[in-house]
Structure 1
Amino acid sequence: MKGRFLLIVICVIFIFSCHDGQNKEVFSPKNNLSVEFGLTKNGQPFYIIWKDFETVIDTSYLGFDFENATSFLDNFEIVNSSTKNFNETWQMPWGEQLDVVNNYNELRVELQEKSDLKRKLNIVFKVYNDGVGFRYEFPKQDNFSEAFITEENTQFNLTEDYKTFWIPGDWDIYEHLYSTTKLSEIDASVKRNHPSLGQTYIPENAVNTPVTLVGKNGIHLSFHEAALLDYAGMTLKVDTDKLSFKSNLVGSRNTTYKVKRTLPFHTPWRTIQITENAPDLIQSNLIVNLNEPNKLGDVSWFTPMKYTGVWWEMHLDKSSWDYGMEMVDGVWTDTGKAHGKHGATTENVKRFIDFSAKNNIGGVLVEGWNTGWERWIGFENREGVFDFVTPYPDYNLDEVTAYAKEKGVQIIMHHETSAATETYEKQQDTAYALMQKYGMHAVKSGYVGKILPKGEYHHGQYMVNQYNNAAIKAAKYQVAVNAHEPIKATGLRRTYPNIISREGLRGQEFNAWSSDGGNPPEHLSIVAFTRMLAGPIDYTPGIFNIKFDEFKKENQVNTTLAHQLALYVVLYSPVQMAADLVEHYEANPKPLQFIKDVGVDWSETKVLNGEVGEFVTIARKERTTENWFLGSITDEISREIEVDFSFLDENTTYEAKIYKDGKAAHWDKNPLEIEFETIEITKNSKLKFYLAEGGGLAISMKKN
């Protein structure tokens, strides 16, 4: 022990000998994490992060490159610094839990160049017990009024060759399968030109965030960003030799800079979640806490819900999004050539409404209801193609919405923009007003295809503003947004709680049409510890007809049926789709019962166990009923897990309905074998369960 202490002292002496002696330090509330900030002798800013006196992030430098201006690299001096502590508890209007503790210690450092311009830069660190967030602030100042940022040079220098779970630093999509390699073995080039993906751009050996790392001693790290507003999304360039990440902002082919901002402004938070185990990553509220409080006020007009819809049948080729109209003199016209496969018909949607009303499902999504689907893919000029207020001839909007209201079911609007941003901007007010007229409070938006105007990417500053401004405008019409092909989630749901969910990952539809075999059994056991750390996921679970041979014999879902049920608890979203066809649910009333019962809005979440890429078990308590629900999933390896039910209420007996893999269940050979059991449990109960290969476990627990 004395030797270890001596080593730490020597390291600290060495660090200070290389720097100018102005180093500042801040600890987490529990003193388990600390951040040291300093300047080198030539005035270059750096930081170091420690956990329990072990270096987690070694000396890492900070700065910016600008167009037509000297870089923020060195020549700085510290003109002021301050620290403060902060502790509050705020409430989520909807979410994984009701009460959120926001407790951190802050270090603010004010820098100024020694040169004649004396430009200023502030760096703010917030240190939590489970991680660190820091951002740059550009204060109002003389000699610096507008920043044209060509690159942000934020380093994250690591101290070991971590096991890393990553997807490539794509400027357009997040719909890649995760790779699991050592940090030194990351090669994003192997993920280029994926046959099932749209336009992609990977200029560097870089990864998207969140990227999660596991150390030899059990430490878990996840790198991401929070509060991404009016700035380019950040990928992380990988130096496989030095074992480090460096910020690599998403750019544009239309400008030589990546971010343009007028001072004063601040960047998004750069976040590092640091925990001793995998479950604590999911339990962390670092990302949402780094966002500003609710700016919308009361959003009770949005109701968390399960929903069905006209969607999966199109991916199975049972029906189509388009009707079969033709463009005549710039107007979509029914020329009598309808092909008869259109899915969004009045009759079909009423069938989904009836099913939802009968089975405690609050909404119905209708895709393909509006004109324009005949020529939205493959056409360079997609501006003006979609009309977000005009239905196809076989979809009676008045009749459908009146019928849904009578049945107590909400219609979820769908806006596929085809990434034609100018068309969507022009029509947003009219489209949202139409929703308000019919009492629709949720929209699923899509941005499939190359961004228009040409040269922009999905994750650059231009599109960050498109996504966020659309949601902010929607709030004025009491509309909540579930974005697909989106910019990454960064916790803005706290500030704008009408940002309810998003895709931002390789979703369920890849199982229906991907040429590479779909999503492997391990996929969601990785997603829970990577993408889900960023925020709610609209993954569309609940496929009962796993093989769907009558539609596509070469494709299937690569999980068991019990795994699909467990996803309603494991993957969080305030809108959860029962994605399969009505007839498949009606043919399986016993597993359907879990979907009928399971909640979507929670007062508590407990991550009971798990390892990244292997398995995870999560229990959640429903706000309105105080019933508990549990979901557990595994990768392609079968395993036995023990569930400790000590999270349940004292002196209470629960009726537990258990949905578990059968003894011969297997994600490929026998995915539909499922067993049902009803028993009584209390907080003193401990039970063991078998998870098959690619399998799962779902339990509903109601108070007796």
Structure 2
Amino acid sequence: MKRQNIYILLFALLTYFGVAAQQLSSPDGDVIMEFSLNSEGNPVYQIAFKNQEAMKSSKLGFTLKESENLDGDFTLVDSETSTFNETWKPVWGEESEIKNHYNELLVRLKQESTERFMNIRFRVFDEGVAFRYEFPEQPNLGHFIIEDEKTQFAMTGDHTAFWIPGDYDTQEYDYTESRLSEIRGLMEESITENLSQNPFSSTGVQTSLMMKTDDGLYINIHEAALIDFSVLHLELDDKNMVFNAWLTPDVQGTKSYMITPANTPWRTVMVSDDARDILASRMTYNLNEPCALEDTSWIKPVKYVGVWWEMITGKSSWAYTNDFKAVKLGVTDYGKAKPNGTHAANNKRVKELIDFAALHGFDGVLVEGWNVGWEDWYGHSKDYVFDFVTPYPDFNVDEIHAYAKTKGVEMIMHHETSSSVRNYERHLDEAYQFMKDHGYNAVKSGYVGDILPRGENHYSQWMINHYQYAIEKAADYKIMVNAHEAVRPTGIARTYPNLIGNESARGTEYQAFGGSKPNHVTVLPFTRLIGGPMDYTPGIFEMDISKLNPNNNSNVNSTIANQLALYVTMYSPLQMAADLPENYNKFLDAFQFIKDVAVDWDKSVYLEAEPGSYITIARKAKGTNNWFVGNVNGKQIRQSKISLNFLDKGKKYMATIYADAKDANYKTNPQAYTIKKMKVTSKSKLSLNSVEGGGYAISIIEE
């Protein structure tokens, strides 16, 4: 019997035996979600795509602390369906307009034994299914504590997955590609060292989880609109191929505290037979609330430079002196300290960067290590670690601000909290006001190390509320936030577009810590970037780190052409040219692409995509008729064939192609590239070679 017939028969049997069953399809009819209650009164759902089973029957519900569970004995009170269709304009993004079109099913359930009510709201988009739990105000349910979420995602087979270990404190892992059944055996080697980490299970993985079935379906599991709730992980029952929801606990082991009325974040399942649809989906953003800010004119996409890379590689330091083993703010006298000679955040070096930014048309300069306290900032469980307003003796805030202003360059502030969250909240108003007083409109915040209060996790409900508090407080001061080591984004930037960037994954810094896999950047857009842009800090031209720091033998596993392509494929309205000016000056012809490429877009076209293998994207710069194309390649040499039919018909363009040279090799010859100019039209087709860890970048300028 054909699979689609089995699927139809199953639905018919559910209906025949009197089990409450509801069916909801996507606007285009390709995605079908079925909801029902089984014989024990458990809510269950399943998903099909183009009449092919994509997810088997999966249970829903919760176990509660000190209360009867919400996972069975339900009856259907009533249900209602609706359709929603709108087009909205993001403040910044991969396109200037986003379509939000879905069909919705709201089911209202009553637990007979307790007379408590729980609703489940489903939305079915053309690219997948989303659902959340809603708890209305009611007599028998007020305050309650979630012990576990019982949501299941039942797979139809032993799929290929791109995963990182489940961890309460970090996402900074390289992705492993394996069968689901192989996760347990590969887990130990997948857990690489990090400054703060807390893996929880031999089969636990993080979302966004990307998978591919043997039948060619692409499935992605994630969450959206993570507000006042703990982060969702997935634990695999590898005997039955079922993922079970696993929420991040707090220091007491509690998953989430709830007060009715309340709802959970959305659980999302994207499904398609074309990998490009996953990249093109805006479902995660659409599940968030509209923009909460009346005035967004101060939110501007930014291209910037800074001292960060020379510090990460060990060429320079954050700390001003080596004299102190311990620092007490307000007590330690830096005026008597001997400078260590490696401190990067000094007036002379920062002015050089400001000059470089002004010369090449960059918007801003980020300076890390400008403020006192870096001598003992990490590893001491220190509460009062920074005050975020007191500079080192060699960094004059007023002088630098005035100098940058004369050059038309904005300074970007850096706030490393050292994960002392109470301390950051204690100083937040003063720190943000200090920024505004000195012309800083954007901040890079960091949460390196174990959280204070001690025992708390980076991804618990309490910390999620802190990150949100910092974003909303920043909006009060008209400050843009780029949060590192914080929770991975879940589309919150639709509501608060001043969240202009996040790290929350293994970024370029790990290329200075031993390197990432050469196909790492062919996975991230399918996983981490599903929920929002990443401050990946691309643009490294000198791949041999020992040339910056003789004591660091790391190599950047990438070619220069690949680094250029990242400005297109790793979307972010906040893009750094991360390398040193000295290295860019050696390759000014290639650096031209970084100068030219946009950071905000009117349209994006996904030309080729296969997770872990390759991605090719074309984007139209906002307010222009100029296009930029980026291709990143994975583990095998490949010929990329693309059509330029996205260009306006009848118009002529000049294309500048930055590509891997024939002898380019990310290990032995990463700086080998070619630059070719040619006239193109919408009828043009290109065939370009990409080496392992390589790629190409193209600027297409209307004549």
Q: What band does the TM-score fall into relative to the shorter chain?
A: over 0.9
Q: Match for residue 558 of structure 2? A: 559
Does the Cα contact within 8 Å between 1:251 and 1:257 map onto a contact in 2?
yes
Q: Match for residue 365 of structure 2? A: 364
- Which residues in structure 2 correspond to 1:135-174 (within 5 Å)? 135-174=132-171
Residue-by-residue CA offset, 1:291-342 (whole Å, 9 max, x unaligned):
0100012212121021000100011222100111643685232122221211
What is the alpha-carbon root mean square deviation over aligned residues? 1.5
Q: Match for residue 532 of structure 1? A: 529
Does the Cα contact within 8 Å between 1:291 and 1:491 map onto a contact in 2?
yes
Q: Match for residue 317 of structure 1? A: 314
Match of 1:217 among 215, 223, 226: 215
Is 2:375 the partner of 1:374? yes
Larger mean CA deviation between 527-536 and 575-584 belongs to 527-536
Q: Match for residue 59 of structure 1? A: 57
**Aligned AA (1:601):** D
Deviation at 1:5, TM superposition (A): 6.1
Deviation at 1:378, TM superposition (A): 1.6
Aligned length: 696
- Output the CA distance in 2 between the equivalents of 1:216 and 1:154: 25
Deviation at 1:73, TM superposition (A): 1.5
Does the Cα contact within 8 Å between 1:20 and 1:41 map onto a contact in 2?
no
Q: Match for residue 696 of structure 1? A: 695
Does the Cα contact within 8 Å between 2:49 and 2:272 map onto a contact in 1?
no
Does the Cα contact within 8 Å between 2:130 and 2:269 map onto a contact in 1?
yes
Where 1:497 maps in the other structure, the secondary structure is coil
Distance 1:683 1:193, change over 3 A: closer
Q: Match for residue 229 of structure 1? A: 227
**Aligned AA (1:246):** N
Where 2:405 maps in the other structure, the secondary structure is helix
Does the Cα contact within 8 Å between 1:57 and 1:156 map onto a contact in 2?
yes
Q: Match for residue 442 of structure 1? A: 442
Deviation at 1:257, TM superposition (A): 1.9
Distance 1:196 1:119, change over 3 A: closer
**Aligned AA (1:666):** N
Residue-by-residue CA offset, 1:531-578 (whole Å, 9 max, x unaligned):
122210111000011113322452110111110011000101101000
Larger mean CA deviation between 341-350 and 545-554 belongs to 545-554
Of all paired residues, the percent bearing the same amino acid is: 43
- Output the CA distance in 2 between the equivalents of 1:386 and 1:490: 29
Q: Match for residue 600 of structure 1? A: 599
Deviation at 1:674, TM superposition (A): 0.6
Q: Match for residue 539 of structure 2? A: 542
- Output the CA distance in 2 between the equivalents of 1:336 and 1:50: 67
Q: Match for residue 677 of structure 2? A: 678
Q: Match for residue 81 of structure 1? A: 79
Q: Match for residue 344 of structure 2? A: 343
Is 2:381 the partner of 1:353? no
Distance 1:638 1:361, change over 3 A: same
Where 1:633 maps in the other structure, the secondary structure is strand
**Aligned AA (2:615):** V
**Unaligned runs of at least 5 residues, structure 1:** none
Distance 1:33 1:214, change over 3 A: same
Q: Match for residue 88 of structure 2? A: 90
Distance 1:8 1:145, change over 3 A: closer
**Aligned AA (2:313):** L
- Output the CA distance in 2 between the equivalents of 1:94 and 1:10: 46
Larger mean CA deviation between 546-555 and 125-134 belongs to 546-555
- Output the CA distance in 1 between the equivalents of 2:226 and 2:677: 46
**Unaligned runs of at least 5 residues, structure 2:** none
Is 2:427 the partner of 1:430? no
Residue-by-residue CA offset, 1:490-546 (whole Å, 9 max, x unaligned):
0000011111110111111111123xxx10211111112221222101110000111
Q: Match for residue 583 of structure 2? A: 584
Is 2:175 the partner of 1:178? yes
- Output the CA distance in 2 between the equivalents of 1:626 and 1:438: 36
Q: Match for residue 257 of structure 2? A: 260
- Output the CA distance in 2 between the equivalents of 1:301 and 1:6: 55
- Output the CA distance in 1 between the equivalents of 2:377 and 2:190: 24
Match of 2:66 among 60, 65, 68: 68
Larger mean CA deviation between 22-31 and 331-340 belongs to 331-340
Q: Match for residue 464 of structure 1? A: 464
Is 2:31 the partner of 1:27? no
**Aligned AA (1:539):** Y
TM-score for the superposition, normalised by structure 2: 0.97
- Output the CA distance in 1 between the equivalents of 2:19 and 2:149: 26
- Output the CA distance in 2 between the equivalents of 1:543 and 1:7: 53
- Output the CA distance in 1 between the equivalents of 2:328 and 2:511: 37
- Output the CA distance in 1 between the equivalents of 2:461 and 2:106: 26
Q: Match for residue 523 of structure 1? A: 520
Deviation at 1:693, TM superposition (A): 2.0
Q: Match for residue 507 of structure 1? A: 507
- Output the CA distance in 1 between the equivalents of 2:190 and 2:563: 30
**Aligned AA (1:418):** S
- Output the CA distance in 1 between the equivalents of 2:634 and 2:202: 30
Q: Match for residue 417 of structure 1? A: 417
Q: Match for residue 402 of structure 1? A: 402
Distance 1:74 1:246, change over 3 A: same
Residue-by-residue CA offset, 1:446-475 (whole Å, 9 max, x unaligned):
000000001110011111111111001100
- Output the CA distance in 2 between the equivalents of 1:658 and 1:125: 45
Does the Cα contact within 8 Å between 1:168 and 1:191 map onto a contact in 2?
no
Residue-by-residue CA offset, 1:70-122 (whole Å, 9 max, x unaligned):
0012111111100000000000110111100000000000011112x310100
**Aligned AA (1:64):** F
Deviation at 1:210, TM superposition (A): 0.4
- Output the CA distance in 2 between the equivalents of 1:154 and 1:220: 21
Distance 1:191 1:447, change over 3 A: farther
Deviation at 1:439, TM superposition (A): 2.4
- Output the CA distance in 2 between the equivalents of 1:192 and 1:230: 30
